[in-house]
């Protein structure tokens, strides 16, 4: 008996479903793409229980004849390609002919359709891939597809679905991506009979950005355009001041198809390099128009990835378009040592010295000398020169660390089990690169210690916030002028999940109608702007994971974000008093060796190792 056998049509469809139908949002994507390919100008989407119970998509497209409707349920049956050559110039959103039979194999599907020139429509009811009945129907021109009880016959797949709220968030994101670039198409999304999204067909791209991404996101956007021999770019970019903590606001379309592409993401980040802080991401709505034969969309079952025939050309075009737009609208960013990058008429890159007239090398030397001068143990007395260095004698070090003054970094009266602890006993040498505190101790043969000021201060604040959180004693200040948050529907759904925990963390957020919310109270250590940044970062984390965190980890997740936004910034020059306050704080907390995100807070080198490096030992 042969070991190799042909799979049945139903099993083959279920395997395809595993590739194409990941969750309810996948069904919405495939059905809406079919509607758009059919020339629809009106697309209505309804869902119940996060799409588990029902997904319905109704369009006014060209519809299908009875014969075409039956053929559409067969694998690899499509009207969008006919020959092998067509695969390399695909202009439609769908073309494989797998989606509809795959969806039908794991659901109870009812398809109603009518051509615009037909007197009557046609209806098919399919259950688990088997046609149960079919016949004429009085449906209007267009197509209506109802998907009920998704994965009813594959309980193993069904148990991997997340909560209805999480699945709804994915549906909202899917519809947002599909509706954003399509002027001339009316979109409406409802969940449990409640309208969530509605975009008129007359809305242009800026209006669609405002309707789908929020007015506050669209307010900071500037238009851009760029054209090269093989690609045309257009869309909107945010300025350096309008950023998010993740790349969730990259909306990139290639010939109308939304995509996530590592090359394009890297190109966007490269174009913004020097304009935004590391770890922050802009808002980008980008349309890439390219000849269909220069891009292969047939590299992934869900068509979420593409392959460019000339990726370097696309990459360079994106970098140039973004960099040029930002420089023209917001000015050139400073490059290392004050030099700026300029482009010649031939688009060649040159480096110009600062206005002082100093050459880059001389400016470099000046910066080095300034850093050396800051490398001191007190406000006077250079490390290199005749100035005397403060003694590292244990009694004199102790006397210096007992000198207290207001530093603005935190409370000097925080709980410390050992006032003269490991860090407080260190002698401060100075600060380098506006971030790292350099210390020394003569104990145990001598050691040099470098402390990351931001990471260390973040850990100190986190531990203090966690202590106050557990005591319900976080200091809160009411905002006389509440901070308004205009959110996307998906963001609002994510925020609703964490209102209680945000309040316990000291941030009080209340609904203000529709998808607008107000921050009415914040922890006293945060400014209103920082509180808004905290809320947005928490929203993005929830959207990425589907839930704030396991119940026992929720406080840590929120408080770490609050601590990060409250801590001293990398690049901030500190006084000796401020450095000393950080050292005292490290002695009073648990686990001072890392920040809440896991980055180390300090690094030490024994004197013996230093002497070995200099060939003294």
Reduced to 3 states (helix: H, G, I; strand: E, B; else coil), residue 130 is strand
Sheet holding 121-127, edge to edge: 130-137, 121-127, 108-114, 142-148, 54-59, 42-48, 186-191, 194-199
| C-alpha span between 240 and 244 (Å, rounded) | 11
* 487 lies in the same domain as 366: no
Q: What is the pLDDT of residues 363-380, one digit of tens each?
A: 444 444 444 444 333 333
Say what percent of the chain tops pLDDT 70.
75
Confirm whether pTM is higher than 0.75.
no
Residue 53: inside a domain, yes or no? yes
* 273 lies in the same domain as 192: no
* 187 lies in the same domain as 214: no
| C-alpha span between 595 and 331 (Å, rounded) | 35
| C-alpha span between 102 and 290 (Å, rounded) | 30
Q: Are strands 427-432 and 436-441 parallel, antiparallel or unpaired?
A: antiparallel
Return the structure tokens found at 430: 């100075």
DSSP type of residue 479: E
Residue 84 in this model has a pLDDT that exceeds 70: no
| C-alpha span between 260 and 244 (Å, rounded) | 17
* 219 lies in the same domain as 308: yes
- Of residues 509, 617, 526, the one with CA closest to residue 564: 526
- The CATH number of whichever domain residue 180 belongs to comes to 3.30.565.10
| C-alpha span between 57 and 43 (Å, rounded) | 7
* 310 lies in the same domain as 425: no
Residue 2: inside a domain, yes or no? no
* 245 lies in the same domain as 189: no
Residue 525: inside a domain, yes or no? yes
* Residue 188 host element (H or E): strand 186-191
Residue 82: inside a domain, yes or no? yes
Q: What is the pLDDT of residues 566-602, one digit of tens each?
A: 788 777 788 888 888 888 888 888 767 777 777 788 8
Q: What is the pLDDT of residues 322-347, one digit of tens each?
A: 999 998 888 755 433 333 334 444 44
Sign (positive or negative) of CA dihedral 375, 601, 414, 392: negative
* 436 lies in the same domain as 537: yes
* Residue 147, strand partner residues: 55, 109
Q: What is the pLDDT of residues 142-178, one digit of tens each?
A: 999 999 999 999 888 888 888 898 899 899 999 999 9
Number of domains in the chain: 4
Give the chain's radius of gyration (CA, Å): 30
* 526 lies in the same domain as 613: yes
- Of residues 429, 420, 409, the one with CA closest to residue 604: 429
* 294 lies in the same domain as 415: no
Highest mean pLDDT among 35-44, 420-429, 443-452: 35-44
* 527 lies in the same domain as 388: yes
Burial 174-201, CB ≥16 within 10 A → b, else e: bbbbbbbbbeebbbbbbbeeeebbebee
Domain span at residue 297?
A: 208-333
Reduced to 3 states (helix: H, G, I; strand: E, B; else coil), residue 55 is strand
- The CATH number of whichever domain residue 240 belongs to comes to 3.30.230.10
* 304 lies in the same domain as 179: no
Long-range contacts, stretch 504-510, CB < 8 angstroms, 24+ apart: 504/469, 504/472, 504/474, 504/555, 505/465, 505/469, 505/474, 505/555, 505/558, 505/559, 505/562, 506/474, 506/475, 506/476, 506/562, 507/531, 507/534, 507/535, 507/562, 508/476, 509/485, 509/535
* 541 lies in the same domain as 564: yes
């Amino acid at each position: 008996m042969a070991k190799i056998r042909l799979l049945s049509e139903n099993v083959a469809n279920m395997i395809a479903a595993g590739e194409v139908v990941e969750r309810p949002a996948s069904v919405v994507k495939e059905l809406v793409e079919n509607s758009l390919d059919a020339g629809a100008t009106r697309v209505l989407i309804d869902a119940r229980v996060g799409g588990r119970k029902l997904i319905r998509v109704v369009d006014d497209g060209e519809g299908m004849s009875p014969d075409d409707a039956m053929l559409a349920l067969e694998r690899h049956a499509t009207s969008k390609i006919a020959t092998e050559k067509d695969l390399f110039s695909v202009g439609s959103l769908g073309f494989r002919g797998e989606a509809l039979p795959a969806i039908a194999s794991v659901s109870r599907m009812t398809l109603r359709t009518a051509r615009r020139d037909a007197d009557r429509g046609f209806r098919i009811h399919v259950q688990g891939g088997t046609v149960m009945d079919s016949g004429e129907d009085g449906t209007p021109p267009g197509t209506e597809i109802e998907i009920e009880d998704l994965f009813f016959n594959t309980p193993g797949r069904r148990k991997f679905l997340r909560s209805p709220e999480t699945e709804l968030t994915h549906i909202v994101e899917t519809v947002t991506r599909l509706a954003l670039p399509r002027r001339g198409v009316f979109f409406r999304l409802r969940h449990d009979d409640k309208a969530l999204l509605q975009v008129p067909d007359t809305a242009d791209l800026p209006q669609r950005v405002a309707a789908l991404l929020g007015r506050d996101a669209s307010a900071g956007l500037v238009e851009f355009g760029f054209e090269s021999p093989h690609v045309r770019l257009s869309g909107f970019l945010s300025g350096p001041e309008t950023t998010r903590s993740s790349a969730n606001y990259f909306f990139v379309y290639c010939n109308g198809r939304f995509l996530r592409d590592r090359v394009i993401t890297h190109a966007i980040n490269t174009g913004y390099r020097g304009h935004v802080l590391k770890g922050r991401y802009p808002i980008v709505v980008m349309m890439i128009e390219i000849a269909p034969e220069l891009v292969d969309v047939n590299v992934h079952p869900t068509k979420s990835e593409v392959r460019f025939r000339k990726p370097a050309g696309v990459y360079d075009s994106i970098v140039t378009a973004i960099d040029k737009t930002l420089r023209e609208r917001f000015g050139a960013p400073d490059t290392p040592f004050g030099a700026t990058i300029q482009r010649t008429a031939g688009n060649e890159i040159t480096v110009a010295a600062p206005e002082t007239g100093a050459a880059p090398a001389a400016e470099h030397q000046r910066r080095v000398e300034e850093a050396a001068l800051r490398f001191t143990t007190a406000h006077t007395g250079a490390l290199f020169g005749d100035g005397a260095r403060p003694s590292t004698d244990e009694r004199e070090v102790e006397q210096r660390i007992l000198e207290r003054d207001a530093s603005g970094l935190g409370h000097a009266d925080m709980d410390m089990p050992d006032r003269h602890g490991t860090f407080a006993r260190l002698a401060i040498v100075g600060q380098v690169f506006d971030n790292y505190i350099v210390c020394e101790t003569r104990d145990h043969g001598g050691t040099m210690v470098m402390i990351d000021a931001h990471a260390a201060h973040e850990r100190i604040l986190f531990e203090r916030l966690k202590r106050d959180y557990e005591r319900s004693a976080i200091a809160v200040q009411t905002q006389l002028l509440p901070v308004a948050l205009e959110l996307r529907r998906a963001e609002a759904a994510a925020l609703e999940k964490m209102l209680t925990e945000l309040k316990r963390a000291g941030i009080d957020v209340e609904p203000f109608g529709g998808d607008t919310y107000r921050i009415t109270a914040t922890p006293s250590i945060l400014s209103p702007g920082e509180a808004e940044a905290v809320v947005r970062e928490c929203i993005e984390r929830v959207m990425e994971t589907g839930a704030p965190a396991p119940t026992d980890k929720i406080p840590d997740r929120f408080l770490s974000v609050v601590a990060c936004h409250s801590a001293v910034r990398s690049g901030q020059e500190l006084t000796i008093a401020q450095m000393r306050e950080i050292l005292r704080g490290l002695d009073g907390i648990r686990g001072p060796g890392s920040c809440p995100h896991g980055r180390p807070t300090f690094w030490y080198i024994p004197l013996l190792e230093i002497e070995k490096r200099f060939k003294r030992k």
